[in-house]
Chains A and B, each alone.
Chain A
Amino acid sequence: MRLMRTSEVTKRPVVTFSGEDIAQIKDVVYSAGGGAVGGFTLAGRGMFSGPLKQGLAWSSVAALGADAVMVRDETVLEPTQSILDASASSGGSGGDVLGSQVLTDSGVALGTVVDVIIQVDQPAGGQCDVVGYEIEASEALGSKGTRVLMPLPDTLAASGEHLMVPAAAKDFVAQDLAGFGAAVLAFRAQLEGPG
């Protein structure tokens, strides 16, 4: 299990087990109301670098590593539209939250979303959860302009304009990915716990 910024995932090559790079990641398609990764839109490699009609569903990803997205072979690609449709039917608005203002349920603006943090199993299997956002902090978080990582509850409300988080979220911000896994767990434990 590891945590990754989705900005690091885009442009990463899609490589088959036979060693061919068949595409690269263009964008992340979110599902489950923005709470999970449904798949990816793709662009060609090298001189064929326009957007592709084929996309990659999360269920077809063999592994998402530091240097490549591994797939069994090129036949796992499917029409991008079917990935977008599947994500939309699972309640995903596309989850385009970059630039959204993070608001707590008590009405305090914590900052602006600049990146999305996902949790990846090795090898891939099950769901690829969105576990937090990197936000450019407002005064409410202490140091305006710095980037901090904020964990998310399992469910959240996102409109494209605002992202609602529980007020407690700001007590679990982390400065880097290394400490972030623990912050996510602590935060979710508190939300689920009796107190």
Chain B
Amino acid sequence: MRFSDAAGRQVVSTSTAETLGRVDEFVVDPRTHAVVAVALKKAEAGDTLAWSDITAFGADAVTVSGADKLSGPSPEVAALVGKEHRLLGRRALSTTGDELGKVDDVEFDPETGVITALVLSGGEVAGVRLIGVGSYAVVVQAE
């Protein structure tokens, strides 16, 4: 699944069948090459949903057991959230200091949240090569 496909997807409670919010941004931890949380918009119960609290990341909706799973970001997530940690649209630099293009999209495994590939304007690179996401660049291990 790609970030661009999943953005805007509704988050639904399995206990009340209510829509709790919509997927806004993905919070990525470069150390684990995985999505650790989803930032939500139009959510009253809280703007952050930890990946571990997601029941299923489905093709049409993200399900959670209840509104109590939504909260403010935990300290670990707070350090990774925000515009300066966004992958999409950011320049990608290899560890050799060469620009590889812009990050057009990100592929992830909806079961585990693991990032499988970065879709760059210059081609795809494997998700395991991601080592940093900062305000200036996304850093990718050189081959």
Contacts and interface: CB of A to CB of B under 8 A. Distances in A.
Interface residues of A, number: 19
A65 B132 contact: no
Contacts of B134: 15-16, 18-21
Query: What does DSSP make chain B's interface, helix, strand, loop or mixed?
Result: loop
Interface stretch (A34-42, A66-74, A111-119): A66-74
Interface stretch (B6-14, B40-48, B94-102, B109-117): B94-102
B97 A15 contact: yes
Given A17-B131, A18-B30, A65 B96 contact: yes
A7 interface: no
A63 interface: yes
A169 interface: no
Interface residues of B, number: 19
B131 A20 contact: no
Interface of B: 30, 90, 93-99, 131-139, 142
A65 B142 CA distance: 11
Given A67-B93, A70-B93, A21 B136 contact: yes
A70 B142 CA distance: 12
Given A19-B136, A122-B142, 15 more contacts: A13-B136, A15-B134, A19-B134, A19-B137, A19-B139, A20-B134, A21-B137, A63-B96, A63-B97, A63-B142, A65-B97, A66-B97, A67-B98, A69-B97, A123-B96
